[in-house]
Structure 1
């Protein structure tokens, strides 16, 4: 594996974990981690909308990074490293 593939694997792993964590932080039907954090950090009337908007943006950014890493790795990852011919 070359340096590009190692960097992409690390970036893929980190962006995957961040995407999962951010999706879990989204509120489902009014109760979620983001509601608890928003109510504890900000005023409930002023902060929750901003918190959700920023959470949405971060989720989209990490998802795009994850998909881009998968696409680039699909094109550049070395093939034929395991030979089944006997």
Structure 2
């Protein structure tokens, strides 16, 4: 049980960092954090619709793994026998 908890904690940490990175990669819809880092200039160049869709799908998958690791850790914590 300790090994599973450790794996879920590592998975949660990695997916948190990856999810933050993928969210910042999304194209801005005007005014915000992405424009501060040059997201406004990339709109003039234009980005591929396929790339944006793939980024959306990958972000949703990582978010689901992140959510499931939180639920798993919560269940382990709740039902842990001391």
Shared fold per TM-score greater than 0.5: yes
Structure 1: 5+ residue runs without aligned partners?
82-86
1:66 alignment counterpart:
66
Larger Rg: 1
Report the RMSD for the aligned CA atoms in angstroms.
2.6
| Aligned equivalents of 1:55, 1:9: Cα separation in 2 | 25
* Aligned pairs for 1:22-37 within 5 A: 22-29=22-29, 32=39, 35=42
Bigger relative contact order, structure 1 or 2 (CA pairs below 8 A, ≥6 apart): 2
Structure 2: 5+ residue runs without aligned partners?
none
**Aligned residue-pair number:** 72
1:80 Cα deviation (Å)?
A: 8.8
Q: TM-score normalised to the size of structure 2?
A: 0.73
